[in-house]
Amino acid sequence: MSVKVQVSQLGPDGEWRHDLDMAVPEEPVALVYNGISHVVMMATPADLKDFALGFSLSEGLIQRPEQIYDLVIEPAENGQQVQLEIDGQSFQQLKNRRRQLSGRSGCGLCGVDSLVQATRPVRSVTPQKIQPDSLTRALSQLSDKQPLNQQTGAAHAAAWCDPDGHIQHIREDVGRHNALDKLIGACQGDFSEGFALISSRASYEMVHKACSVGIGAMAAVSAPTSMAIDQAELAGLTLLGFARPGRYQRYHTHASGSSI
């Protein structure tokens, strides 16, 4: 669902040429719970049901998909609205801790009003192994399964891979956090076996979202941040960075002789 745009290209001969190119869509997306707007994120307006479910799970607004009774996507004047009806207990908890966010390209921490909110406790997970051959197999499939990025060069991807490295689900978005939330929604929160593969760096927020739904292993094409490494170690998440066929780094905060 890329968007056609007009561009001017400067060639090696110094001449300008006018052409069409493809841009990744980005719009404000508001998530509204039981009539109360909770968050507005800048996102690619595709797979929004997956996005709303995944965000609700990864942010702890609900614990199970069935706690969402209804979900309706409504076009708005300047973007999209996702109207969610959630169960009474979840809604009461949301009201107790409600925070207004305004994210840029999926930044899930923008707008929090205290340091405590920014560093919530991380959920412990069961570590999963990522075999080198499985990671190589997953990486070999990643590019072909990113049509939006192939068209625009500006989309992130998050994929769920089975233990053998076959990609089972993949979602794209202009924001890396959004792509992961969409993946979480697409998988309905079922992460008992396998690993996540992300096309971006692994930030604190990416690790926190992964752990919040029980993901036990994550491989990132780019590097992790120091806080992501700390959180992964605390939760038990297997965290790999600079993932390439046959080569990667495993991160930990203390000396370890283990190999995963």
Query: Helix 176-186 vs helix 204-212: angle between axes, to the nearest 10 degrees?
Result: 10
What is the rounded distance in angstroms from the CA atom of residue 178 to the CA atom of residue 44?
Answer: 8
Determine whether 187 is an active site residue. no
If we measure between CA atoms, which residue out of 163, 170, 53, 178 comes closest to residue 107?
A: 178
Q: What is the CA 21 to chain-centroid distance, rounded? A: 26
If we measure between CA atoms, which residue out of 232, 238, 164 comes closest to residue 194?
A: 164
Q: What is the CA 200 to chain-centroid distance, rounded? A: 10
What is the rounded distance in angstroms from the CA atom of residue 183 to the CA atom of residue 58?
Answer: 11
If we measure between CA atoms, which residue out of 177, 189, 184, 196 comes closest to residue 139?
A: 196
Catalytic positions, written as ranges: 107
